[in-house]
Amino acid sequence: MLKTLGFKGILGFFIISLTVISVAHAFVNERNEGSFVEGTLIQVSKLPLADRNPYPDCNFTATLEVHRINLGGSISKKVILVLPGFAGRKYTPEAELKAGDKISASLVPFASMPETVQQTQQADEVEDVDLSSYFAKDIKVIKSFTPGDTPVPFANSALPAKSAPVVAVVDSEAQKARRAQMQRDLEDIRLLLEKNGGDWDKWYGSLEPFRIAYKKQYEAKAQQWVGDSFFSAGYLDNSKIYSDDFVKSIVGLKNYLAARNVDLILVRVPNKGEVDYDLFAPPPKDQVSNPYLLKLYKELLEADVEIVTGIVPKARRDRLKYPLMYWYQDFEQNHPAEGVTWVIAEELAQRLQRYSRINALPRATFRTGTASTAEDWIHFKWPAGNAKFNSDDYVRFTTVVDDKGNPVVIQKGNSSPIVVLGSSFITAPSIAKGASIPSYLAYLTGVVPDMLQRRDGDFMMPRLIAQEGDAFLRNRVVCVFPFVPWVAHKSLAQLPVFDTQNSAKALLATFTGPGLQTALDAGSVQEMPKVSYSQGGSLQVQPYDEKGVTSVTFRLKLPEALRKYSHFAVGITFASKDFTGVKVTYGKQMDSIKRSGLAAEELFGFNTTPEATLSFDVVADKFKKVPAEITGVRVYGVEQPVYYKTGQ
């Protein structure tokens, strides 16, 4: 058995005798844990020299043509493998693999691997960027394939023709329950506003003494154990909470999903101080720390956008059930701990009961386990001051596992009627260990949700959903979106002016190699040592460091041939699997994206105007420190754009 980095044996049970394959196959399919396959490596990325590489660990990618699936879930006939290349500068046995090798291997979706694995440097020369990625374990070079047809069918082999019409069925009872819930929430807010004088601004002004008292505790970093639960005076947003542009953009997202017969349920994840402010300062009347939060709820509900309004009250009611609602021992850490994660999952699970399609599905059975922060990215120990919790011990939290003890796997699939949207907040405290909002939802509902997630990517959600295409939403009933509280201060990213993926494009200009540097005017790049060009001409932006965010703006002169087209698209090709933000500006138009860690061409679309140049900003991610490498820029003319169906 070959050893892989950080892997906990999630597929160890696959090594069984063929006499029980049919039983295990049913079990694996139900749990969606992975696939045991045979196939041929048709492309293998070249590893850098271990002793000269800037990082001590490095994985590499390969393309596998799957010959048969012996056990597990269906996958495509062609996939990308992520393999360990060297660890601690020592090469692994997998580093000897080459194109043409026939192999057997156990595969799990790469997105389900721990962040330590996902963040490891990758040598990646695979060009098929649209393929699904899997982490491979138990790899063996074989002389020949097992004879006979594949026991498990390949993914998409039995799907109807792409042109087959899909008839949307409206769940009238679910819609009736949705409207009733929203009316109850609106009425509760209306009564509270009326009770406090009917004026949002005056109500907010009356709470100034509370804000002053709490601010003193916040600045003093006050903290305390209350029974067996620990709290500190965390951040409390005393601003107006949201912008009108945010509400408008959320309405746009809701309409986009509704046009595809998919509901949207929002949850604003509370700030830390919203859950425990009354423990550190005399609480306001009616336990409302900021009335503008209720005003946000009211405006969304009146615009037919469902948002869970009871998260803060429920979190405050349930806060003594958990040792930690947030990581209160660290004043800077704002991600949810176990407590708030359960609260959000429970509120969502209750609302999901209304949908007949979800209720009709067979229920998967999970149980709870525990895991330690020592095994994940957090590494927090218990706060001092409580004899039941040794401050030398790492915090433990509840996980969701199957009857083999394997964590429930949450991935970006297309099959679940539920998809959870969000940033790293929806993966906390540890989705790899089975502890997250979607993990707890799987436990509470018996239905494993899919996930569309980008770190710091909440504001990009409308664009990310559109980029996935309508096929991503075809089997959905509802999207739930737990968003970070600060994203409400600005508009969510707008869709491009047209569908850049599906519109017919005419290639007008390509800038690669030395020509890329010639074409780009980097302005002040000379003063930024983090930005450079390689010998081959690719543009390289180094990761964020302690001195600040690496951000640079480039300008590109557009080809004259563009004037013949009413619209155009710009494609920026990234060879790196980075997490940078990219913003492209053309006159008064702007298009942006938060990258997802895949090597790909990112497309940006615009209406053609007299402007002769455009600019693009590259902002390095603060947390996932992966260098960005741009190998080319392409300009496409678009005469007859395909537009998104927005429902407006």
Give the confidence band of 549 by pLDDT, cuts at 50, 70, 90. Answer: low
User: CB neighbours of 105 closer than 8 A, spacing ≥ 6?
Assistant: 36, 37, 39, 64, 81, 136, 137, 138, 139, 140
Summarised one tens digit per residue, pLDDT across range 386-423 is 999 999 999 999 999 998 999 999 988 888 999 999 99
269 token code pair: 């994840």
pLDDT at 104 over 60: yes
Give, for 443, the enclosing helix (H) or strand (E).
helix 437-445
Q: CA-CA distance, 486 to 543, in Å (whole number)?
A: 24
Q: Which of 360, 445, 434, 359 is nearest to 403 (CA)?
A: 434
Summarised one tens digit per residue, pLDDT across range 166-205 is 345 678 999 999 999 999 999 999 999 999 999 999 999 9
- Our CA dihedral for 138, 144, 149, 154, rounded to 10 degrees, sits at 40
Question: End-to-end CA distance of the chain, in Å?
Answer: 56
Mean pLDDT, rounded, for 492-519: 89
Q: CA-CA distance, 321 to 398, in Å (whole number)?
A: 12
Mean pLDDT, rounded, for 549-574: 89
Q: CA-CA distance, 390 to 31, in Å (whole number)?
A: 36
Percentage of the chain exceeding pLDDT 70:
88
Summarised one tens digit per residue, pLDDT across range 587-616 is 999 998 888 777 788 999 999 999 999 998
**pTM of the entire structure?**
0.72
Q: CA-CA distance, 622 to 134, in Å (whole number)?
A: 26
How much is the mean pLDDT over the chain? 86
The larger pLDDT score, comparing residue 162 to residue 172, is at 172
Least confident stretch, 135-144, 473-482, 523-532: 523-532
Percentage of the chain exceeding pLDDT 90:
62
Cβ proximity of 214 and 236 under 8 Å: yes
Give the confidence band of 10 by pLDDT, cuts at 50, 70, 90. Answer: very low
| 292 φ, ψ (degrees, to nearest 5) | -65, -20
What residue type is 637 in one-letter code?
G
Q: At what angle do helices 244-258 and 291-302 cross, to 10 degrees?
A: 40
pLDDT at 624: 65
pLDDT at 448: 95
- From its phi and psi, is residue 438 left (phi > 0), alpha (psi between -120 and 50) or beta? alpha
The larger pLDDT score, comparing residue 362 to residue 479, is at 479
**Per-residue burial over 300-316, b = 16 or more CB atoms within 10 Å of its CB, e = otherwise:** bbeeebbbbbebbebbb
Question: 590: how many CB neighbours lie within 10 A of its CB?
Answer: 16
| 234 φ, ψ (degrees, to nearest 5) | -80, 180
Question: 95: how many CB neighbours lie within 10 A of its CB?
Answer: 16
pLDDT at 487 over 70: yes
pLDDT at 18 over 70: no
pLDDT at 54: 54
Q: CA-CA distance, 38 to 475, in Å (whole number)?
A: 30
- Our CA dihedral for 208, 211, 215, 221, rounded to 10 degrees, sits at 160
Q: Which residues pair with 583 in a beta bridge?
A: 592, 617
pLDDT at 548 over 80: no
pLDDT at 152: 85
Cβ proximity of 537 and 512 under 8 Å: yes
Q: CA-CA distance, 341 to 116, in Å (whole number)?
A: 22
User: CB neighbours of 106 closer than 8 A, spacing ≥ 6?
Assistant: 11, 14, 34, 35, 36, 37, 136, 137, 138
Cβ proximity of 452 and 417 under 8 Å: no
pLDDT at 163: 32
pLDDT at 473 over 70: yes
pLDDT at 6: 36
In 335-376, which residue ranges form alpha helices assigned H by DSSP? Answer: 338-352, 356-359
Burial class (CB in 10 A: 0-12, 13-18, 19+), 140: exposed
Q: CA-CA distance, 392 to 280, in Å (whole number)?
A: 27
- Our CA dihedral for 631, 633, 638, 641, rounded to 10 degrees, sits at 60
**Strand arrangement, sheet containing 263-268:** 306-307, 263-268, 478-483, 418-422, 450-453
Give the confidence band of 467 by pLDDT, cuts at 50, 70, 90. Answer: confident
The SS3 of residue 162 is: coil
Mean pLDDT, rounded, for 524-544: 68
pLDDT at 24: 34
Burial class (CB in 10 A: 0-12, 13-18, 19+), 12: middle
